[in-house]
Amino acid sequence: MEYFNIGIIGTGNVALHLATALEAAGHVITHIYGRDINKAAALAERLYDAEPTNELDFSESEAGIFLIAVSDNAIEEVATGLIVPDHAVIAHTSGSKPLQVLENYHPHVGVFYPLQTFSQVNKINFEEIPLLIEYNNNTVKESLTALGLSLSKEVYYLNSEQRRVLHVGAVFACNFVNHMMTLSKRVVEAEELPFKLLHPLMKETFRKAMKLGPEAAQTGPALRGDFSVVNAHLEMLADNKELASLYREISMSIYNNR
């Protein structure tokens, strides 16, 4: 296996989890960059060899790979300022930004996108997380592939457009799924019923969707075309225009897609 010296640009959740996992896999994190030096220092303290810094000049660095793990809107600004040795690889870790945002600034660029949601507290097991890789030349491809395989069994080559499609898919399957649960909780708690009554049903729904595929697992009044129930529910929600409108539109979508 090949081990790398890696500079991490960023101090957020992605930076934290990537740095920790890469170190556990045998790589060396040489630097942690943060605009706020205190945040960089706090993250560096959790690692073995990392130096915190708030300067983007890495021309003297021994790192061979620089991973940009900052918010989408800050990537290009960081890429503009970043100075690294000519042979080094720079990759961002964003699902929605194209490779192209790095190409103007450096010869060896790529994307190293872990398709997962990271929170402060949870330890993440990278082994099963899909790592989506993009590259502008073979040097980058080889480095990022080796890096990816040191973390996960699931390494894929996707172009920027495919990554964007997956991101839209993730919005539906994760962000929107979660919001439906939030709305459910609001409906139930408005009548002072405990949301946890629905937990077993939610667990089973999720299990069935993963096992059978969601299109085969669909149930409910809209699917059955049971409009007496759909209309009764709409009446109950009539006080809340937003909820009623969502209920109507999603029900029609289920009905139309039977």
Q: Which of residues 224-253 bind its own copies (CB under 8 A)?
A: 226, 229, 232-233, 236-237, 242, 245-247, 249-250, 253
> Site residues for its own copies, window 174-213 (CB under 8 A)?
174-185, 187-188, 190-191, 193, 195, 197-206, 208-210, 213
Instruction: Spell out where 48-103 has E strands.
Output: 51-53, 65-68, 89-92
Residue 219 within binding range of its own copies, rule CB under 8 A: yes
Residue 1 within binding range of its own copies, rule CB under 8 A: no
> Site residues for its own copies, window 103-132 (CB under 8 A)?
115-117, 119, 128-130, 132
Residue 74 within binding range of its own copies, rule CB under 8 A: no
> Site residues for its own copies, window 34-73 (CB under 8 A)?
72-73
Which listed range, 19-27, 84-92, 103-111, 171-179, lies at the site for its own copies (CB under 8 A)?
171-179
Q: How far apart are CA 30 and CA 194, in angstroms?
A: 49
Give me the helices (H) in 84-198, please.
100-103, 138-151, 160-170, 177-190
| Closest by Cα among 80, 25, 41 to 57 | 80
Structure-token match 């077993």, residue found: 200
- State in angstroms the smallest separation of the CB of 98 from its own copies: 11
Which listed range, 37-45, 49-57, 80-88, 222-230, lies at the site for its own copies (CB under 8 A)?
222-230
Q: How far apart are CA 52 and CA 42, in angstroms?
A: 8
| Closest by Cα among 183, 253, 245 to 215 | 253
Cβ 114 vs Cβ 170: under 8 Å: no
Binder to its own copies among 60, 86, 215, 239 (CB under 8 A)? 215
